[in-house]
Chain A
Amino acid sequence: MDNAHAPHVVTPIRTYITIFVMLLIFTGVTYWVALHDFGALNTPIALGVAIFKASLVVIYFMGVRYNTPLTKVVVVSGFFWLLIMFVLTMGDYVSRSWLGVPGR
């Protein structure tokens, strides 16, 4: 039977609990940051915390750290393509007003 193969790694419960507590703590951090005025920094901080939380879920809960390199490439490329869409689209819209020409 297949148990002769390399055994699958089973994540300890302690790891899952640690990640769970960290996710709750950083939800609290997000809320605390939102209550204070950091000027232009509010959104970058909120997004940074959200990206960190999402990374914890992807790496630990979804177990990508134990997946094959191929799966990892697919995961990273998915988020990378999203970034391309945001950066190129906003690059266009933000820079349009820089040109003082009609039909921009």
Chain B
Amino acid sequence: MADVHASTAAGTGVVAHDVHAHHPRQQHHFYSMDQQLEASTLGMWVFLVTEIMFFGGLFMAYLLYRYWYPEAWAAGSNHLNVLMGGLNTAVLICSSLTMALAVRSAQVGSRMGQVVNLILTILLGATFLVVKYFEYAEKFKHHLVPGVNFDPALPRPEQLFFSLYFIMTGIHALHMVIGIGIMLVMLVWAARGRFGPSYYGPVEVSGLYWHFVDIVWIFLFPLLYLLGAHLGHGGA
């Protein structure tokens, strides 16, 4: 019976497999650890597809208004700090590397590797948020934040640009905060030796989320920060 199940388990290893001799982390509704990992990965990707559509709606709004108000978009973009945006891009790419290395450490059974790389990932994520804090503070000072503080002399289309800037980067930053929370849990579990070559699903799918948030920023950086750089005074 176990063999019949194993051979139907999505083409994974077809070997003699006693149902009672399973991995302690294997849930009973899965035929094998491979199937369990595959299901986790697929499930995370289905969630990430909803995230793609969620951010996609905002990018759609960005695209249409930019098509209508190209000059306002270039002018608004020139208010953003290219240096800080670029720095944060590099920080997130570094964090994606440490995240990938953390998953790899789990795959090869290095507890120290997981702990070190997860700590680095968390620190880089925090660095991103600190830089973002200084950027936002600068915008408050210059009355570029939608709300009571908004500079009334700012043309309406430019106000629209800043509304989109804050909702897109704000929700992205919220994802970073959630990501750091997830990584703290992974760090505790990794430090307790929960993960290893045969079981690393949680750190793997958390990594997928982290990389996704990095991808969103890979699009946000050129689309928000770099529109008017060639028109002069970029990085105001």
Q: Which residues in window 52-93 of A have CB below 8 A to B?
A: 53-54, 57-58, 60-63, 67-68, 70-71, 74-75, 77-79, 81-82, 85-86, 89-90, 93
Provided the pairs A10-B104, A78-B49 are in contact, do residues A35 and B234 lie with their beta carbons within 8 angstroms?
Answer: yes
Of the residues B45, B101, B218, contact of A75 by C-beta under 8 Å: B45
Which of B91-99, B122-130, B152-160 participates in binding chain A? Answer: B91-99
Residues of A within 8 A of B37 (CB): 8
Partner of B67, one of A8, A46, A61, A94: A94
B34 to chain A, nearest CB (A): 5
Cα separation A61 to B102 with both chains bound (whole Å)? 11
Given contacts A62-B208, A93-B67, contact A81 B33 (CB under 8 A): no
The answer to whether B19 has its CB under 8 Å from any CB of chain A is: no
Q: Is the CB of A5 within 8 A of B211?
A: no
Contact, CB under 8 Å: A54 / B49: no
Q: How far apart are the CA atoms of A82 and B96 in the complex, in Å?
A: 24
Chain A interface extent, by class: 35 or more
Residues of B near A62 (CB, < 8 A) are 207-208, 211-212
Residues of B within 8 A of A10 (CB): 104, 107-108
Decide if A93 touches B64 in the complex (CB within 8 Å): yes
Once A4-B17, A10-B107, A16-B97 are accepted as A-B contacts, the answer to whether A71 and B38 lie under 8 Å apart by CB is: yes
Chain A residues lying within 8 Å of B218, measured Cβ to Cβ, are 50, 53-54, 57
Interchain CA distance A20-B17 in the complex, whole Å? 40
B23 touches A2 (CB 8 A): yes
Contact A54 B219, beta carbon cutoff 8 Å? yes
Interface of chain A, main secondary structure: helix
Task: Please determine whether B226 and A4 come into contact, CB atoms closer than 8 angstroms.
Answer: no
Indicate if B52 sits at the interface (CB-CB under 8 A): yes
- Whether a CB of chain A sits under 8 angstroms from the CB of B82 is yes
Which one of B13, B15, B52 lies within 8 Å of A78 (CB-CB)?
B52
- Asked whether, in the complex, the Cβ of A2 is within 8 Å of the Cβ of B208, the reply is no
The answer to whether A6 touches B12, judged by C-beta atoms less than 8 angstroms apart, is yes
Chain B residues with a Cβ under 8 A of chain A: 10, 12-13, 15, 17, 21-23, 26, 32-34, 37-38, 41-42, 45-46, 48-49, 52-53, 56, 59-60, 63-64, 67, 82, 86, 89-90, 93-94, 96-97, 99-101, 103-104, 107-108, 197-198, 204, 207-208, 211-212, 214-215, 218-219, 221-223, 226-227, 229-231, 234
What is A's interface to B at a CB cutoff of 8 Å?
Answer: 1-6, 8, 10-11, 13, 16-17, 20, 23-24, 27, 30-31, 34-37, 42, 46-47, 49-50, 53-54, 57-58, 60-63, 67-68, 70-71, 74-75, 77-79, 81-82, 85-86, 89-90, 93-94
Contacts A8-B37, A61-B96 known; list 5 others, CB within 8 Å: A5-B12, A50-B218, A77-B49, A90-B64, A93-B64
